[in-house]
Structure 1
């Protein structure tokens, strides 16, 4: 009977066993080939395939809403398939584009179709191209070269779409923060510019300004303004001052204190066109 013990275990226990990080997705697939019962378990266990997805691509989990239910086997298969297609495409680029100084948008029709067939395809493709743990990053130098070129081209294609959509929204929703992040992404196409990180840094600066303002002007109107209203201000491109002239002046003085004295920012006309001074994330 010892050889049949696992067959009588509850499915929940088996899922925990095959979902552990010690076992790869290949192990899970091979386990599913042993009998019809385990094949059904492997094919229908969302828990197991979420574990395997997380083990192989933890950096991609940020794409998913934790409150939403996903078919993790389908997501895993899609990511694997996209990776294989990307590697195949990059391997063919040298023979097709060796005579071009730069990759032309017209030559990326196949890749663009691949990016637009699923809402997460672009992110899966970029992950395959960028992530150092993927096979493409350990291939020959020619493929690494074309992969890096492709990253810049695909990012700029996505940014063009973002910019066109950005221009279509009402002016009061065209936030300067989003525009500044767009500029940073365009200029630094080889870097990962995180809007979330930029927003967090701006919030930290705003918090520091509030503390300076509180120490100098504890009765400033901002401290009697509800948090809900402040959040509304953050989501709109404000066209008018929210306080009187003297209180606006107090905010600007506190802002200057934080930016120049606390954080060491400074102006330099000789460095005006330096990229470090042009991008919000630098």
Structure 2
């Protein structure tokens, strides 16, 4: 449609030039015309050039039309509020997109043999941010308001465009590396936001502190999900307003109904709340109505069946699915209560996060009943001293727990996610969850040795960020001299792996040539890479991404896995497979058979080895096809036989 419109305009330029300006502006502002189309159109006639060049409002609209998700980002809009050269900014966004595409395409070839990408792998993206804003040669012809933060957001937006581009089944390798880069860039942006956020922590709680922080945790862990803060704020507002509607029916004399015109508190007031705005009676009615709305009408439920599912810790998922765990429910409840004029406080109770609400002021003579404890996870139940959760604790013990800071709350959330990651460590999802949680913990609690030691082990396992590991270990030994033994052991591992990396880098080309495997010298190989298989014994679905003519595992592994109990023992082909549960396994040929169910395999590493899912099998990318150059013919023959 665009090309035909352009050709029509070009062919009849003389007639169009006679049209009024408002009609021409309607044409050029049409969404079907891209910024590139405008540049071409401006070359067809002088009047078009005068209309298009330097038309700030026109180029602003094109920016919004072309990159709508970028425009909806609140941070982007704040950074763009002072922009004057919109045409230059559009050009900068295009240039940034081209650079991102080029650099992502390079990663597949340069990092195919790496188990994971180190921070240094993303140097080209970081350098680009600073070159455009500090180098005078690059500053020429750039939008004067272009900043490092804007370029950072442009890069992230282009990566999200790559991830959304076309079918989910195609361009898998580009999407695999785009997600890696997006994770790094988003974490860099969030790292700065977390440091600013924690620097402003004065020890008291506010609705913005907890809700913003909870959404920042969601963004930190969910790389392929763009979280719209304003959307979830509207959801909170909606629940609060439904609560007021419930109050108006059952408690029409409640203060928020008749004193506040049945409206929520504005964010500015809710954020500054230090104590409840209403009487104890009104607050109790508000919380009773909130319980009715949340748990009976909107059906927020406890997720006891899958308590340790990681989505229970992400505020956006909790609101969307209406499933959660105590700490996320408490943050949501606390946020809504503040919008309703009720001030609650988080209590870091052992094994169960709860809230407390001050029923009586300090000068009132109700010491034993001053605080009411609320178990949000159990329907907002108000606890008594005889409640099972409190029964084994004295009033003094409960009071000593005290109110927790926002740092305490988010550290607890991260530790929950560390445990979830450790429980699922066999899968790629579990390992990335563990790594994300530990990296965030190191920001939230930089003096905590245990999390940094565990993160060091994760980096060593992945063979990444080894220089950073050395720095972390040095700081750990300074803070805790008793840890010298484990620190020395890990430092020896770092030295060994750094040396191996240097040797590998020096002989990189030879290593790649030696990885090629031909079928004509491995006649026992029955299956090919890209085939979707079923394990006969354990009934899992998987895709083959490598093979050995004989079992290449260590003797210890062979004995541990009972390979000698197989009829053909270890003297048969073994296959590297990506399993649908997110794990990576090594399976004997006699235990595998082609799978009749040809659905996609859900595994984070699929894109590292395959470029496309072709309904019945996966097509290897250039690097994997070069490693197994003969497998495509075998794959085609086997697919024909199955048909």
Per the TM superposition, whether the score is higher than 0.5 is: yes
CA contact (8 A) 1:136 1:144 kept: no
The structure with the largest helix share of the pair is: 1
Name the structure 1 match of 2:159.
129
Secondary structure of the residue aligned to 2:299 is: coil
Name the structure 2 match of 1:264.
299
Question: Please, which of 280, 294, 319 is the counterpart of residue 245 of structure 1?
Answer: 280
Does 1:180 pair with 2:214? yes
Q: CA deviation at 1:206?
A: 0.6
The Cα offsets for residues 227-253 of structure 1, whole Å up to 9 and x where unpaired, read as 6964433233x3433333332222221
Structure having greater relative contact order (Cα 8 Å, sep ≥ 6): 1
Name the structure 2 match of 1:148.
179
Q: Kindly report the root-mean-square deviation, in angstroms, between the aligned alpha carbons of the 2 structures.
A: 3.3
The Cα offsets for residues 30-83 of structure 1, whole Å up to 9 and x where unpaired, read as 333345564444322234433433443333333447986643211210111110
Q: Which runs of 5+ in 2 are unaligned?
A: 1-11, 134-146, 318-643
Secondary structure of the residue aligned to 2:301 is: coil
Question: Please, which of 196, 207, 226 is the counterpart of residue 165 of structure 1?
Answer: 196
Name the structure 2 match of 1:197.
231
Name the structure 2 match of 1:91.
105
CA contact (8 A) 2:190 2:216 kept: yes
Name the structure 1 match of 2:251.
217
Length-normalised TM-score, structure 2: 0.39
Question: Please, which of 95, 102, 110 is the counterpart of residue 116 of structure 2?
Answer: 102
Within 2, Cα distance between the matches of 1:268 and 1:4?
Answer: 68
Name the structure 2 match of 1:29.
39
Total equivalences in the alignment: 280
The structure with the largest strand share of the pair is: 2
The Cα offsets for residues 210-231 of structure 1, whole Å up to 9 and x where unpaired, read as 1122222222222313769644
CA contact (8 A) 1:97 1:103 kept: yes
Q: Which runs of 5+ in 1 are unaligned?
A: none
Name the structure 2 match of 1:50.
60
Within 1, Cα distance between the matches of 2:267 and 2:44?
Answer: 56
Q: CA deviation at 1:264?
A: 1.1
CA contact (8 A) 1:15 1:47 kept: no
Higher Rg of the two aligned structures? 2
Q: CA deviation at 1:99?
A: 3.4
Length-normalised TM-score, structure 1: 0.82
CA contact (8 A) 2:179 2:223 kept: no
The Cα offsets for residues 110-129 of structure 1, whole Å up to 9 and x where unpaired, read as 31343564242233222211
Secondary structure of the residue aligned to 1:225 is: coil
